[in-house]
Every structure is written in C-alpha cells, then in structure tokens.
Amino acid sequence: MKVVEQIKQPIAHEMELFEQKFSLSMKSKVPLLNRITHFIVNRKGKQMRPMFVFLVAKMLGDERLNDRTYRGASVIELIHTATLVHDDVVDDSYRRRGFFSLNALWKNKIAVLVGDFLLSKGLLLSIDNEDFDLLQIISVAVREMSEGELLQIEKARKLDITEEIYFEIIRQKTATLIAACCAMGACAVHAGKKDVENMRKFGELIGLAFQIKDDLFDYGTQRIGKPTGIDIKEQKMTLPLIYAVNNSTSEKRKWLINSVKNHNKDKTRVNEVIAYVKEIGGLDYAVTKMKALQQEALNLLKKYPNSPYKESLTLMVNYVIERKK
C-alpha cells in the first residue's frame, strides 16, 4: 500500500464526505465559475492539508467529527487552492500537477478573479457559521503567506538572505498553512489552548521540513516535476546555497552570488554551482536541519496517547522528508 493511502486509512470515510462538502462549498450562480471549479476539483492533489485537519481532530477529539471540522478542512482547502491559482499568475506558470494551469486556459484576469472568489468563499464559510476562532487561524495564515512571498521577492533582488531570514520566509510561505491545518483540527473539536498551540507548532515544524526537502530536490537527479537547478535559475536562495555562501572564501562567495544574479540562465554555470554546493557540504547541512525539525515534530506527538490517528501523523512526518517528489 502506498504511504499516502496508509496515512489516509483511519480517515478514509471523512475524506470521502469532505470531497462532497468541498465541491458544494465552491458552488456559484455563474456557469463559467462552476466550469472552472469543476476543473479544479477534478485535478486535486494528495489533499494533505485536509488530512492534517481530520487526523489532528480525531486524535484530540472523540471518534465522531462535528460539522465544524469539515468546515475547517474546506476553508483550508479553499484558501490553499486560491493561493495556488494566484501563485501560477505571479510566477507566469502554465502547468500545475501535470495539467495546464487556470491562467494558461482562461488567462490571468479570470484566474485572479477565481482566486479571489475562492478566498472569499473560504472566509464566508467561517463567518456564516460563526466559526470566528477558525476564521482567525486562517486569516493569520493568509496574511503571513502574502508577507512571506513579498519578503522573498524583496530579498531576491539583493540576494542578501541570511539563514535566519530564509527560515522566516519559508515559515511564512509554506509552514504557516500547514500550521493552520493542525491548529484548525484542534480548535474545531474545542481542544484546550495548549493543545491548539502544540498542534500549530507541530504543523509549522512539518512545513519547514517540507520546504527544505523541496530545496534539496533542486540538487537531485530524480524526476520530481521540476528540472534540476530551477531555484537557482529563479534566483531563489535556498538553504544549501545559503550554507555554501556563508562557508566560502570571499572570492568563492562573490562567484556564487554573481552566478545566481547574472548567470542563472547559463546551464553550465548553474551545474557548476550545484556541484560546488554539494562539494562544500550544503546538502548535508540542509539534511541535518531537516532531520532536527522532523525529530522536534515527533517529540510533540509523543505527548498524546497512541491511536491510529497519531500513527498516521507520525507516518506523515516521516513521509514529508522521505518522499521522492
């Protein structure tokens, strides 16, 4: 059995029910919107984020989930989908999960409006049901994701990213939404403040580890949906590269920065940068950091009684850093 199926097993029924509720949450009176949202639903990913919501809720609550949990999972997925649609516009990307992206098929204007529609649907789902605690969790996540993207854009111009700033960018860009999923799962079943915070931190640690794993893929040779060296071509300062910059002679440091800034489209130069980062230990350093985050997340889980849900969350943590794509 595939790992994702194994993780999903204890919440298979909830995930089926969620898919129906999620489709309904996107309904509109505008036929064009319904066509587009139908397209989105049929090209869904692994749906890891709703899985986090349900697994945490079932680990902390009783066996039966309330409607708040389904609404929380739908809000998370609506916001996540909205950010993906907007990201494709910002990045001029015409592919998403092996298919054409919305902006490729319907152009930027419609894609931006669909993203806005999904965002408002998510927020209204919480407001209409007076889930103001859930609304606060997701609103903080949306603010942080926007700030993280803008901080990355600002830093990409000068390439003056320290390790501290790097972690702040990935915390906001990637980890904050997974943290929101886990906090949402706890909050939806009325867990105490300490448990909500524990689960928020747990999600944040997984999100940070997830992003470092993505950084490492840029230096690998496996087929993972993006060509090797793409982060360098996009002038993104990832953890292995930051380590290399910080641990090089001033001459090598200048060469690295110059390569990323001015020669990022030169295949030979990009390959030289990749080889140098590997040689100086950038990848080993990133792996060590990722494994430390994994261990911290697993330690947070140890506080809770054993259950199939805790087991799936443990599997999820390990899957994040062992995945091949």
CA 273 vs CA 73, 233, 279: distances in Å: 41, 11, 10
108 Cβ contact list (under 8 Å, min separation 6): 89
State yes or no: pLDDT of 63 exceeds 50: yes
CA distance 9 to 58: 13
Q: What is the structure's pLDDT at 306?
A: 93
For position 225, what pLDDT does the model report? 44
Q: What is the rounded CA–CA span in Å between residue 260 and residue 267?
A: 11
Q: Residue 142 pLDDT > 80, yes or no?
A: yes
| Rounded Cα gap, residues 244 and 221, in angstroms | 20
CA angle, residues 130, 131, 135, in degrees to nearest 5: 120
pLDDT at 111: 76
Whether residue 16 has pLDDT greater than 90 = no
Asked if residues 74 and 22 have their Cβ atoms less than 8 Å apart, the reply is yes
Q: Under CATH, which architecture does the 3-320 domain have?
A: Orthogonal Bundle (1.10)
Q: How many CA atoms lie within 13 A of 183 on its CB side?
A: 24
Which residues partner with 100 through β-bridges?
95
* 263: exposed, middle or buried (Cβ count in 10 Å: 0-12, 13-18, 19+): middle
* pLDDT at residue number 29: 80
Question: What are the tens digits of pLDDT across the range 208-262?
Answer: 999 999 888 878 745 444 456 677 777 778 899 999 988 989 899 889 888 888 8
Beta strand spans in the chain (E)? 95-96, 99-100
pLDDT at 98: 52
Q: Residue 54: enclosing H or E segment and its boundaries?
A: helix 48-60
End-to-end CA distance of the chain: 17
Ranked by mean pLDDT, the top range of 233-237, 262-266, 314-318 is: 314-318
Spell out the domain ranges in the chain: 3-320
The pLDDT tens digits for 280-305 are: 999 999 999 999 999 999 999 998 99
- How does pLDDT run across 47-62, given as a tens digit for each residue? 888 999 999 999 998 6
- Higher pLDDT pick, 246 / 93: 246
pLDDT > 90: what percent of the chain? Answer: 36
What pLDDT score does 224 carry?
42
pLDDT class of 89 with cuts at 50, 70, 90: low
**One-letter amino acid identity for 183?**
A
Instruction: Look at 285 and 103; give whichever has higher pLDDT.
Output: 285
CA proximity to 77, closest of 205, 178, 188: 178
Residue by residue, DSSP assigns 61-117 as S-SSPPHHHHHHHHHHHHHHHHHHHHHHHHTT--EETTEE-HHHHHHHHHHHHHHHH
Q: Which amino acid is at 195?
A: D
Q: Report residue 180 CA to chain centroid gap.
A: 11
In 3-state terms, what secondary structure has residue 234?
coil
33 vs 30: CA distance, rounded Å: 5
